[in-house]
Chain A
Amino acid sequence: MNQPVQILKFEGKNIRQPPSGAHSEAPKEPEPYLVSSRLKTAVNLAITLRRPLLLEGDPGCGKTCLAKAVAFELGLPFFRWNVQSTSKVQDGQYVYDALGRLHDVQLQKVERTSRRDPSNPEEYCEMGALGKAFEIKDCTSVVLIDEIDKAELDFPNDLLTVLDKPWGFEVKETGKWVEARLNHVPIVFITSNKEKGNLPDAFLRRCLYHYVEFPGSEKALRDIIDRHYQSEQVEAPGDDLQSAAIARFISLRNEGGLIKKPGTSEFLDWLKALQTYMGKPYSADKLIGSDQKENKLPYLEVLLKVQQDWRKFKPADEPV
Chain B
Amino acid sequence: MSQFDATDWIIQLFLRLKSKGYSLGVDEYRAALEAVEAGYAEDEAMFLELVQILWCHSRSQQIQLDPIWQELKREAQKQKPPLKDPEGIQEPPSPTPKADDEVKPQLPEPEPLIKAREPLPKQEVSSLPVQAPFTPVEREGILPLQSYFPLSRRSMVYGWRFLQRPVADGCRNVLDIPATIQRVTERGYYLSPVYRRQLRNRARLLLLIDQNGSMMPFHRFARDLVETAMEESSLQKDNVRVFYFHNVPASHVYQDLYLTSPISLQEVLGACDRDTSVLIVSDAGAARGYRRQERIQETTRFLLQLQKRTHLIAWLNPMSRSRWVGSSAEILSYLVPMFQVDRFEFGEAIDVVRGVTGPLVQGDED
Contact = CB atoms under 8 A, between A and B. Distances in A.
B40 interface: yes
Contacts of B98: none
Interface in A207-261: 207-211
A210 B52 CA distance: 8
A211 B232 CA distance: 27
Interface string B50-91: 101110111100100000000000000000000000000000
Contact of A45 (B54, B56, B59): B54
A56 interface: yes
Residue from B23, B54, B57, B154 with most neighbouring chain A CB atoms (10 Å): B57
Given A48-B38, A198-B152, A209-B57, 11 more contacts: A41-B40, A48-B40, A49-B34, A109-B189, A153-B158, A200-B154, A205-B25, A205-B27, A207-B57, A208-B54, A209-B58
A197 B56 CA distance: 17
A153 B49 contact: no
A98 B177 CA distance: 8
B25 A45 contact: no
Contact of B53 (A204, A206, A209): A209
Contacts of B28: 205
A198 B58 CA distance: 10
Contact of A204 (B50, B57, B153, B161): B57
A99 interface: yes
Nearest to A211: B59
Interface string B206-249: 00000000000000000000000000100000000000000000
A197 B153 contact: yes
B190 interface: yes
Interface of A: 38, 41-42, 44-45, 48-49, 51, 54, 56, 98-99, 102, 105-106, 109, 153, 196-198, 200-202, 204-211
B91 to A, nearest CB: 27
B50 A41 contact: yes
Contacts of A202: 23
Contact of A205 (B34, B57, B181): B57
A48 B35 contact: yes
Nearest to B38: A48
A93 B52 CA distance: 31
A38 B154 contact: no
Interface residues of B, number: 35
B201 to A, nearest CB: 15
Interface in B267-293: none
B24 interface: yes
Contact of B35 (A49, A196, A198): A49
A56 B87 CA distance: 43
Contacts of B250: none
Secondary structure dominating the interface of A: helix
Contacts of B27: 205-206
B142 interface: no
A102 B180 contact: yes
Q: Which 3 A-B pairs have the closest CB atoms?
A: A204-B57, A201-B23, A42-B53
Interface of B: 23-25, 27-28, 31, 34-35, 38, 40, 46, 49-50, 52-54, 56-59, 62, 152-154, 157-158, 161, 175, 177, 180-181, 184, 189-190, 232
17 contacts: A41-B40, A41-B50, A42-B53, A45-B35, A51-B31, A56-B58, A98-B177, A102-B181, A109-B189, A196-B232, A198-B58, A209-B52, A209-B57, A209-B62, A210-B53, A211-B59, A211-B62
Contacts, number: 77
A200 B23 CA distance: 11
A208 B53 contact: yes
Contacts of A42: 53
Nearest to A206: B27
A54 B161 CA distance: 26
Contacts of A98: 177, 181
Nearest to A44: B40
Contacts of B59: 56, 211
Nearest to B184: A102
Given A49-B35, A106-B190, A153 B157 contact: yes
B359 to A, nearest CB: 28
B40 A45 contact: yes
Given A48-B34, A205-B28, A211-B59, A197 B184 contact: no
Nearest to B62: A211
Given A45-B54, A99-B175, A205 B24 contact: yes
A209 B56 contact: yes
Contacts of A54: 57
Nearest to B37: A48
A238 B328 CA distance: 75
A38 B62 CA distance: 13
A153 B161 contact: yes
A183 to B, nearest CB: 15
A205 B153 CA distance: 19
Contacts of B24: 205
Contacts of B177: 98-99, 102
B50 A45 contact: yes
A204 B49 contact: no
Nearest to B25: A205
Given A49-B35, A205-B24, A208-B54, A41 B49 contact: yes
Contacts of B38: 48
Contact of A198 (B34, B40, B154, B180): B154
Contacts of A41: 40, 46, 49-50, 53
A90 to B, nearest CB: 15
A38 B45 CA distance: 11
A300 B175 CA distance: 49
A51 B56 CA distance: 14
